[in-house]
Amino acid sequence: MRRRTSGLPVAMTLAALVLAGVLLDGSPSQGPRAPLALTSGLLGIGLAGAISRISRGGREQSRSDPEPPAAAAPPPDAASAPADAIAGTMSPVEHEPAAHAASWEAPGERELLMRVAARQLPLVERVLGVLDELEESERDAEHLAELFVLDQLVTRMRRDAEVLLVLGGRSASSVGGPVPLLAVMRAALAEVAEFDAISLGRIPTVAVRAELAAPLSHLVAEVIDAAAPDETAALRVDERCEGESLAVTVTGVRGGADLAVAHALAARLEVELDTTDPSRVTLNLPAGALVHPAACAAPTSPAGPAPHVLDTLPARQTGSPQQTERPVARVGGSGQRLVARPARRLAQERDS
Amino acid sequence: MTASYAEGRHRPGRRVRSYVLTGGRTDASGVPEDATVVRVDGASARARDGSREHQALVACCEAPQTLAVLQRSVRLPLGVVRVLVDELVTEGVLRLMDPGAQPQELAELDRRLVNARRL
């Protein structure tokens, strides 16, 4: 009984503090918010603010180091302010609370989101491992097609989980040797909605550092998916050595493409994203991203952009009189399965 | 099976997924599962235009090979190997052998089986 009486003032004090905090919330220009709006605002702030902080580069914010008021912040600029660019991708209703995230964010939100993403990733990896085994032994074409559809959806989930971790500041594993650019581009293709509709040019025989391989494939996939979500077949991806650096160019970009996530990811990877030409997006990889930059600096042939051609990737299904219609298991951006798309593997485009 | 999944027996998924190698195709009705294929004369040069997997398959088919042997060689799912071989057959780089003809390793196995029965 004695404990109860001594604890009551403490509880009342805490309740009063919480109530005071609620009533004092809001910028002077807006005034106190209604309880319902406050509740929804809190929810919105929690998510939007955390995403904003993640994309900002993982800088830790302590309680004693609050962000400046959102009202004084400059307008969102996708290229220079990835955090605002991320917030800009949300709907207006969600975006409004994000502007006030600074005063509401708890310092552990980023870590919490990172923890959830890190918890999700091994589950997705395990599903992909199971799919690998099922595909290995599957002999029925129809069943294999279904597995491919599932595989692609889960692969895209893995991309999302890993992008979240990269934006949150987690470094990718540097275990393993150099990864050929061909593998990086193939991994990127596996992560886009309409992977079989992309035309790719020649792949220089260069390799990227292990820790950059997966994030780079995610970045390429982000650009491809954002460039023309409804007309992916119009896209073309070329890789070109420029000095000791490497440029990956996606042409056929639709006007007004939302490249906010790509910009944030590129900033994280220290990859320059050139969008000066609205019809194309170029990823400029510095020489430091390549394992042997000198290989990229080899003299180029007048006939092509790079002297060493390792391979080409599945080309766009361009029309050809010799082509035969063959069913293709694929899944579009909305998740529907599409079939009966011609496939041509050998006569690929090599006019890059 | 469920328990083994929960225990994490499976490896992480590969980065380059199988469906990318075939462009999503799974139908290879032109190549039976028990087919034996062999490289066409002069096919090596034409195969250079293909992907790495195409080139590897063509390189393996100097002598007649079954799909099972090719699968072990290139370490890809059988369904993927069938699609790739089907494409190579369509392109005229590989050709299907007469179903009655046996590849070398099968002929050798038959010979050993006959010898074993004689014992």
Contact A145 B80 (CB under 8 A): no
CA proximity to B47, closest of B87, B98, B96 = B87
Identify the closest residue of chain A to B16 by CA–CA distance: A187
What confidence score (pLDDT) does residue B112 get? 84
What confidence score (pLDDT) does residue A221 get? 92
Alpha carbon distance A157, A124 (integer Å): 7
Mutate which of B2, B17, B75 to test chain A, going by most A C-beta atoms within 10 A?
B17
Alpha carbon distance A254, B52 (integer Å): 32
Q: How far is CA A220 from the centre of its chain?
A: 9
In this structure, the strands spanning A337-338 and A330-331 are antiparallel
Identify the closest residue of chain A to B71 by CA–CA distance: A136
Contact A196 B24 (CB under 8 A): yes
Contact A144 B26 (CB under 8 A): yes
Q: What is the pLDDT of residues A11-55, one digit of tens each?
A: 454 444 444 443 334 333 343 433 333 333 333 334 344 434 444
The predicted model gives B50-78 an average pLDDT of: 89
CA proximity to A316, closest of A210, A229, A199 = A199
Sign, Cα dihedral of A191, A266, A54, A84: negative
Identify the closest residue of chain B to A133 by CA–CA distance: B10
C-alpha angle with apex A77: A74 to A78, nearest 5 degrees? Answer: 150
HEC-encoded secondary structure of chain B: CHHHHHCCCCCCCCCCCHHHHHCCECCCCCCCCCCEEEECCCHHHHHCCCCHHHHHHHHHCCCCEEHHHHHHHHCCCHHHHHHHHHHHHHCCCEEECCCCCCCHHHHHHHHHHHHHHHC
| A341 within 8 A of A156, measured Cβ to Cβ | no
Q: Which helix (H) or strand (E) holds A124?
A: helix A109-137
In this structure, the strands spanning A280-285 and A245-251 are antiparallel
Alpha carbon distance A97, A95 (integer Å): 6
Count of C-beta atoms within a 10 Å radius of residue B41 = 6
Alpha carbon distance A56, A312 (integer Å): 36
Alpha carbon distance A14, B59 (integer Å): 76
Residue A246 token pair: 């490497």
The predicted model gives B93-100 an average pLDDT of: 82
Identify the closest residue of chain B to A324 by CA–CA distance: B90
What confidence score (pLDDT) does residue A234 get? 64
Contact B46 A127 (CB under 8 A): no
What confidence score (pLDDT) does residue B49 get? 67
Count of C-beta atoms within a 10 Å radius of residue B86 = 24
Measured in degrees and rounded to the nearest 5, phi and psi for residue B49 equal -80, -10
Q: How far is CA A352 from CA A124, A239, A305, A309, A324, in A?
A: 36, 9, 7, 11, 25
User: Residue B10 — pLDDT band, cuts 50, 70, 90?
Assistant: low
C-alpha angle with apex A229: A226 to A232, nearest 5 degrees? Answer: 105
Chain A / chain B CB contacts < 8 angstroms: 143
The contacts of residue A259 (CB under 8 Å, 6+ apart) are A78, A222, A223, A226, A227, A273, A275, A281
The contacts of residue A16 (CB under 8 Å, 6+ apart) are none
Contact A217 B52 (CB under 8 A): no
* Least trusted range by pLDDT, from A59-63, B9-13, B22-26, B99-103: A59-63
Share of chain B above pLDDT 70, in %: 76
In angstroms and rounded to an integer, the radius of gyration of the C-alpha atoms of chain A is: 24
Residue A179 token pair: 């990864």
C-alpha angle with apex A313: A186 to A337, nearest 5 degrees? Answer: 75
Contact B26 A311 (CB under 8 A): no
Contact list in A for residue B8 (CB cut-off 8 A) is: 122, 126
Q: Each residue of A239-272: b (16+ CB within 10 Å) or e?
A: bbbeebbbbbbbbbbbeebbbbbbbbbbbbbebe
Contact A317 B23 (CB under 8 A): yes
More confident residue, A27 or B95: B95
Q: How far is CA A75 from CA A78, A79, A306, in A?
A: 10, 12, 41
Burial class of residue A199, CB neighbours in 10 A (0-12, 13-18, 19+)? buried
Weakly modelled stretches of chain A, pLDDT under 50: 1-11, 13-102, 104, 299-352
Contact list in B for residue A139 (CB cut-off 8 A) is: 33, 78-79
Hey, is A338 helix, strand or coil? strand
What confidence score (pLDDT) does residue A207 get? 86
Q: How far is CA A74 from CA A63, A83, A140, A337, in A?
A: 22, 12, 57, 43
Model pTM above 0.80: no
Alpha carbon distance B72, B24 (integer Å): 21
Nearest to B26 among A148, A214, A313 (CB): A148
What confidence score (pLDDT) does residue A230 get? 62
